[in-house]
Amino acid sequence: MARLHFAIFPVKLLLQDKYLSTLRVPKISAATMILYAEDDTIIPHSSTQALIATFPVSQLEVKKIAGAGHNSISDFDEYGKWLREFFVKSD
């Protein structure tokens, strides 16, 4: 992701974590919610969809916040509401 946004910097040398979330999914056994911003300009939609596709359907809850961006998602009422509902249900 960083290379897409900061092409003039040697991102490969600066960042050690590649954030390959899809490779971590097989180690996750807990119920999982993916909460994402519809208008995210940092994380490509294709990356979000690839992560969603990696989880078993029975383990996953997906919520999209319409009109939200990467840095504004927490400003939307649904963000807190859906997080609270998920954690109460998972408790």
Query: Model confidence over 24-78: pLDDT tens digits?
Result: 999 999 999 999 999 999 898 999 999 999 999 999 999 999 999 999 999 999 9
CA-nearest of 61, 63, 52, 65 to 30 is 61
**pLDDT value of residue 89:** 86
Token pair, residue 8, equals 């003039």
**pLDDT value of residue 61:** 97
**pLDDT value of residue 19:** 73
* 8 lies in some domain: no
Contacts of 89 (CB under 8 A, 6+ apart): 31
Residue of 18 and 71 predicted with greater confidence: 71
**pLDDT value of residue 18:** 66
Q: Position of tokens 């939609």?
A: 45
* 2 lies in some domain: no
Q: For the chain, how many structural domains are there in total? A: 1
Residue of 89 and 64 predicted with greater confidence: 64
Please give the residue range of the domain that contains residue 82: 32-91
The burial of 26, by beta-carbon neighbours within 10 Å (0-12 exposed, 13-18 middle, 19 or more buried), is given as exposed
* 20 lies in some domain: no
